[in-house]
Structure 1
Amino acid sequence: MLKIFILLMITTNFIFGGNLKVGDKLNNFSLTDQFDGIHTITNNIETIIITFQKETLMMVNDFLSSKSSLFLKEHRAIFINNISSTPTIITKMFILPKLRDYKYGILLIYDENNTKFAKQADKITTYSLENGIVKDIKFLSSANELGNLLK
């Protein structure tokens, strides 16, 4: 409980900001992963991958499960899954145990008021960054498109 409180205090500015746009500077922010570890995202990240639905989560998992457990780190990428629309009981009983089986870290957004990242139905959102500045935003429809982005 204390971890969640600290996390909420750290990310207040992040949570209540508008969507990131091309040219915006990404301020450092923190999110918890599927193991309740807190991770601070800094300017060294080059790619942010975000999913908002189970189907897009599965697309990313299909892609990442065939890669090394260090793939995201080697590509200076992070993977974020927005689970804010899922009831807490379902999240704790079913989603988190399943996510803990994955060999890579998944940062989680629990707050439905978090509008920092743009989304489109049935799409994987990606942000390409350079020195913390958003250079490109893409909405991908498949794991193949994600693979092409992360070459």
Structure 2
Amino acid sequence: MPSSFTLLPFMLPALAGAAELQVGDTAPALSLNDQHGKPRTMLSARRFLLFSADKDGSNLADEVLEGQTGETLERAGLCYVADISGMPAMVTKMFAMPKLRKRPYPVLLGRTPEDTITLPRQAGQVTLMELNSGSVAAIEFLDDALSARARLGLSA
């Protein structure tokens, strides 16, 4: 009999009771803590939402955002959200959080599956959602840091 852990990915949509966002949907108004424990809200006035849902996606997001600051992300209208809900607590505490706290820009953290369940995802990629007038205008799954930086208008 499969363990509940192996069934969890299939149960997540039922747990959240919400469907994955699609183009045309209302942009999410996420209220999450950042890597410093500061409450932050991802406002629909943002132009882009960058999302990583796994370790490979997180590493890619690190490449995309390398050299950026909170100010450059603000100017680009970009909010970065990372789902860390699947990470073991000890790994989160000992390794991930110290690394995240060194980031010079805010990272909104999804600590439970429900926090980011509506955000579209593909394994090993980052999700880039373009927002316009409070709606999701486009959803892209990117696996290349240079093209993602260009798409976001970020300097090297």
Give your verdict on TM over 0.5: yes
Instruction: State yes or no: 1:51 paired with 2:83.
Output: no
Q: Counterparts in 2 of 1:7-86, with a 5 A limit?
A: 16-86=17-87
- Name the residue aligned to 1:125: 127
Per the alignment, in what secondary structure is the counterpart of residue 118 of structure 2?
coil
Please list the CA deviations of residues 42-85 of structure 1 after superposition, one character each: whole Å capped at 9, or x if unmatched. 22111000011222222221232223442211111100111111
Q: Which has the larger radius of gyration?
A: 2
- Name the residue aligned to 2:148: 146
CA-atom RMSD in angstroms: 1.5
TM-score normalised according to structure 1 size = 0.83
What amino acid sits opposite 2:149 in the alignment? G
What amino acid sits opposite 1:135 in the alignment? A
- 58-67 vs 137-146, greater mean Cα deviation: 58-67
Deviation at 1:16, TM superposition (A): 4.3
Contact 1:16 1:115 in 2 (8 A): no
How many residue pairs were aligned?
Answer: 137
- Name the residue aligned to 2:98: 97
Deviation at 1:126, TM superposition (A): 0.8
Contact 2:68 2:105 in 1 (8 A): no
What amino acid sits opposite 1:138 in the alignment? E
Contact 1:44 1:132 in 2 (8 A): yes
What amino acid sits opposite 1:67 in the alignment? Q
- Name the residue aligned to 1:107: 108
TM-score normalised according to structure 2 size = 0.81
- Structure 1 residue ranges without an equivalent (≥5): 1-14
Distance 2:85 2:151 in 1: 26
Distance 1:82 1:68 in 2: 20
Distance 2:82 2:98 in 1: 14
- Structure 2 residue ranges without an equivalent (≥5): 1-15
Q: Percent sequence identity over matched residues?
A: 27
Deviation at 1:136, TM superposition (A): 0.3
